[in-house]
Amino acid sequence: MHGQIAKKYIHAGLRSRRLDEHTRVVRPCPVASNQYEMRATKKPRRTLELELGEQLNILLTAAHALANQAAACFDDGLQPAAFHIARWLHAHGAATSSTIAAHVAMDRSATSRLLGQLQKLGFVARASDDKDRRGAIFSLTREGRARLNLAPEQRGLAFYKRTGPWSDDELRRFTAMIRRFNTVE
């Protein structure tokens, strides 16, 4: 009986009707004093993937905005890309400009220009490369690390506002799903 009510289910105070293999209706209308039907629709996979894409876009946009705020805390006169370079140096240590450029997905000229700005402000130090005297190795200075340590506090507060009300189990499940999503096979 495609498209028609084929079966009725009464389970745990909920009444639902099986309409077809794609839809289960559970409507929010009183059945008895404390029993309700709710509507739950099984959507096609493509629709679910599009909804996931929308949510990821929202997440990435929010993360980008938070990164820009953190960059302004680091130094409001620098481009956020310079903050990104400083964060990379903090996480990975000293490196050549070409290595940094490759890992932060920037062209080498932009990376060199931003490293120069960070160096002039005293956030990055430049030293000769022992392996190649023509090259240079860049690393964060003490001042650069101190400034970087201020920026995550802002991001942490915004993050906590979103996850603070969650139970430990919800946070564990969300973390596991994100980890699974981020795993490249």
> Which range of residues forms the domain containing residue 165?
46-182
Q: Are residues 92 and 149 in the same domain?
A: yes
Grade residue 32 by pLDDT with cuts at 50, 70 and 90: very low
Closest CA to 85 of 132, 129, 121, 61: 121
Q: Are residues 56 and 92 in the same domain?
A: yes
Q: Are residues 90 and 29 in the same domain?
A: no
Determine the average pLDDT of the residues in 105-117: 95
CA distances from 81 to 23, 55, 67, 118 (A): 47, 24, 10, 11
pLDDT tens-digit series, residues 123-168: 999 998 788 777 899 999 999 999 888 776 666 777 788 889 999 9
Q: Is there a domain that residue 36 lies in?
A: yes
d(C-alpha 68, C-alpha 66), whole Å = 5
Q: Report the number of secondary-structure helices (H) and strands (E) in the chain.
A: 6, 8
Q: Is there a domain that residue 73 lies in?
A: yes
What is the per-residue pLDDT for 155?
66
Instruction: State the CATH number of the domain containing residue 79.
Output: 1.10.10.10
Determine the average pLDDT of the residues in 103-111: 94
Q: Which residue has the higher pLDDT, 113 or 161?
A: 113
The structure's pTM equals: 0.59
Total tally of structural domains belonging to the chain: 2
Helix (H, G, I), strand (E, B) or coil at 69: helix
